[in-house]
């Protein structure tokens, strides 16, 4: 059974503009926190926040912003925020199959 959004979050309550604002504030917090948050945890959070922002823009029919945020999330997965650290192995797809 597919999950349904929880009404306890701005996006789940249909307040997508508010969700974008709060996600952006969280990204700023992560940047300001620096090394006080484990870098790999911060990277995963950034990916999820970027995907959530993209989803909110999709709900608002802001297609270019939605695509841009989704591309940003994919780029973070491939490279990580820190140079040389990938969140997803470049030789394997997220489903575990090898790439060429």
pLDDT tens, residue by residue, 51-85: 999 999 999 999 999 999 999 888 888 776 555 55
Say if residues 10 and 16 touch (Cβ distance below 8 Å).
yes
**Higher pLDDT pick, 5 / 43:** 43
User: How far apart, in whole angstroms, are the C-alpha atoms of residue 73 and residue 20?
Assistant: 15
> What are the residues whose beta carbons fall under 8 Å from the beta carbon of 51, sequence distance 6 or more?
69, 70, 73
**Higher pLDDT pick, 37 / 89:** 37
Task: Using the structure block, give the residue that is written with the tokens 């912003």.
Answer: 65
- Give this prediction's pTM: 0.72
What pLDDT score was predicted for residue 50?
Answer: 94
**pLDDT higher than threshold 60 for residue 93:** no
* Portion of the chain with pLDDT greater than 90, in percent: 43
CA angle, 42 then 48 then 52, to 5°: 140
Please report which confidence band the pLDDT of residue 92 belongs to, taking 50, 70 and 90 as the band edges. Answer: low
């Amino acid at each position: 059974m597919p999950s349904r959004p929880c009404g306890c979050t701005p996006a789940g309550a249909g307040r997508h503009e508010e969700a974008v604002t709060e996600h952006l504030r969280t990204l700023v917090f992560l940047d300001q926190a620096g090394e006080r948050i484990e870098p790999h945890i911060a990277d995963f959070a950034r990916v999820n926040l970027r995907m959530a922002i993209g989803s909110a823009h999709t709900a608002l029919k802001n297609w270019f912003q939605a695509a841009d945020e989704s591309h940003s999330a994919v780029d973070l997965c491939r490279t990580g925020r820190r140079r040389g650290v990938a969140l997803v192995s470049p030789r394997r797809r997220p489903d575990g199959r090898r790439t060429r």
